[in-house]
Amino acid sequence: MKQLIYFIFLLLFSVLISCKIKPDSSMNDLECINGNDDNIESTNKQLSAKNYNYQPAKKLELKKNSLIDLQSAHLHLGEISDSDEMASEYKKWNLSSSEILTILRNGEAINSHDFSYLYYVLPCEMRGSAMIDSSMYSFKINAGSYFILSNADTSYYFGCSNIKCKKYFLMTGGSPVRDLGQ
């Protein structure tokens, strides 16, 4: 009797191992396969094509002719130590509306690696909101020559170290050749 139960258990176990779930089926509908890898590969293609239509986030592209309507802007000063040699510069730094628009128009998209290693995060920034090509974004323009545009679910990083906006920042980032002497 023990041998019969053992045999039935092994038989059920081997049937379960050789079964797969169809992409459009419930857990009750199982299709058994013959161990052919082509069948598994075609099932994976069906799953990725049918159930997981991954689409990367749309990249924000600021153009020279983008319509930008500045909604609000204010200076935000973070924690500044009196012993910091640039403390007085931080406290004096500010941007006008036209300077903000110039910076937004001349920024270049940067990746997280460049942001982390090539830009200074300073305790002074302009914060506000702007309508860009009929979409609302909040912005943070840091005195370290970068800015961030954010909407409900995405943040976009831009560097601004070209000649047109270099004069608006306390430090310039974005160039390892210039900044690190390489």
Tell me whether residue 61 is in a domain.
Answer: no
Tell me whether residue 60 is in a domain.
Answer: no
Q: How far apart are CA 123 and CA 114, in angstroms?
A: 19
Q: Tell if the pTM clears 0.85, that is, is over it.
A: no
117 and 160 co-located in one domain: yes
75 and 163 co-located in one domain: yes
Most confident of 109-123, 125-139, 160-174: 125-139
Tell me whether residue 132 is in a domain.
Answer: yes
144 and 93 co-located in one domain: yes
Tell me whether residue 122 is in a domain.
Answer: yes
139 and 165 co-located in one domain: yes
Q: How far apart are CA 103 and CA 108, in angstroms?
A: 10
How is residue 51 annotated by DSSP? T
Q: What local confidence, expressed as pLDDT, does residue 164 receive?
A: 86
Tell me whether residue 116 is in a domain.
Answer: yes
Over residues 34-57, the pLDDT tens digits come to: 444 444 444 444 444 444 333 344
111 and 174 co-located in one domain: yes
pLDDT band of 13, cuts 50, 70, 90: low
Tell me whether residue 135 is in a domain.
Answer: yes
Closest to 103 (Cα-Cα) out of 153, 140, 58: 140
User: Does residue 161 or residue 170 have the better pLDDT?
Assistant: 170
Domain of 38, in residue numbers: 2-50
Over residues 50-102, the pLDDT tens digits come to: 443 333 445 567 766 778 889 999 999 998 888 888 888 999 999 999 999 99
174 and 106 co-located in one domain: yes
Split into its structural domains, the chain has a count of 2
